[in-house]
A and B are shown apart, each in its own frame.
Chain A
């Protein structure tokens, strides 16, 4: 079955960077788009970006363009995201999400809490 296992919680200071990982199994990693979605405390879901099956096409939320990047390592079936210049408003649970190849998000990771605090 599809599994998306994310890395553990992080605590960072403002201005720092964070890299999160997501290990995929149960599907052909090089066939599906992957996404990152986050949820700040008490807020709704926010789509952050996506990466193509081969990793050659990336689309990002416009407001994050300068600070956010996604990569994938097909040999280890691992998806990564990096968020730079962290601010308190980046405190959120970050989800790794598999695209269903039918314009939907069909499987979600367990979520990783990133807390940004001085």
Chain B
């Protein structure tokens, strides 16, 4: 199962919005709405910020939102804050029974 495709990096200024794409195939994102996004500050454990495309766990700000179209999912972060700077990973359930795949990760820089 190949990794999902994410841009290596994105950047934005405080207060702006950014979108990170995550492209898979009909064997994962195209079949299931089981796409999650994780925020990872280096040296810490990754944190779940969205699941089932656009559901936020308790405590995650509404500035984080998700969408999906065909084989591509997207994470949008509105009103960027300096502390949003981190690596972001998408993941999806796949049609290979009971397995998952992650994206390669996107480094967000808040300028």
Contacts and interface: CB of A to CB of B under 8 A. Distances in A.
A43 B99 CA distance: 20
Given A44-B105, A45-B102, A105-B91, A95 B45 contact: yes
A46 interface: yes
Interface in B35-93: 36, 38, 40, 45-48, 51-52, 55, 57, 89, 91, 93
A103 to B, nearest CB: 4
Contacts, number: 69
A102 B52 contact: yes
A105 B101 CA distance: 12
Interface bin, chain A: 20 to 34
B1 interface: yes
A45 B108 CA distance: 16
Nearest to A37: B102
A32 interface: no
Interface residues of B, number: 28
A59 B97 contact: yes
A46 B40 CA distance: 14
Interface in A48-73: 50, 57, 59-62
Given A44-B102, A47-B102, A59-B99, A106 B48 contact: yes
B3 A44 contact: yes
Contacts of B93: 103
Q: Which 5 pairs from chain A and chain B are nearest by CB?
A: A59-B98, A104-B51, A108-B45, A103-B34, A44-B105
